[in-house]
Amino acid sequence: MTIRPIRITGDPVLRSPAAPVTRFDDELHELLTDMVDTMRAAPGVGLAAPQIGVSQQVFVWEWTDDDGILQEGAVINPTLHVGPLERRKADPDEDLEGCLSVPDFRYPLVRAKRVVLRGTTPLQTPVQITAEGWLARIFQHEFDHLQGTLYVDQLPWRLKRTARKEIRAEGFDAPGQSWLPGVDDFESDHEAEEA
């Protein structure tokens, strides 16, 4: 079990599109194992490879839905078809989102309620998952990471301005910063809701 440092918002790897995976080998298997271990330790519900400094199109997720069913998996080289986005103001409770690469901050963001995720499993088989609700939010959040986008980049302009000020005040906008779950004191007072 290896827990890797999670890169913080100012790191350039989080701001560049990730490269497609071309080799399904032991190194990829090790990366996926480390990603799951890191996500669980944080704790979070999703993690994209760029968040641990690896610019590859890979993300993992693990979340228990309201029916007690564990939703978990890994996808490689994904595409995401996003359903319609409602034109409404974000609800501060229902739409509250966080990110392990923007630790300890939460902002509401309207997301599409339904998505279709396509990609490849670690066993090189095609996968297609239709997701709604919170799982759809997780997929959108993690897919955005692979495009070099953070959820705070998509906030409405007034809230985005507030978020930038708060992130800058915390010193998170500088490159090269990271935190290590289980060592650093981030996210410890939040339930596993981060991606």
E strand or H helix at 140: helix 133-146
Residues 6, 181 contacting (CB under 8 angstroms): yes
- Comparing C-alpha atoms, which of 44, 55, 63 is closest to residue 12? 55
Cα Rg, the chain, nearest whole Å: 16
Q: What is d(CA 47, CA 51) in angstroms, rounded to the nearest whole number?
A: 7
Catalytic one of 30, 72, 94, 142: 142
Paired tokens of 75: 């996808």
Residues 45, 62 contacting (CB under 8 angstroms): yes
Q: What is d(CA 186, CA 182) in angstroms, rounded to the nearest whole number?
A: 9
The SS3 of residue 56 is strand
Q: What is d(CA 66, CA 85) in angstroms, rounded to the nearest whole number?
A: 23
Distance between first and last Cα of the chain = 20
For the question of residue 142 being annotated catalytic, the response is yes
- Comparing C-alpha atoms, which of 82, 137, 151, 140 is closest to residue 115? 82
Give the catalytic positions in this structure: 142
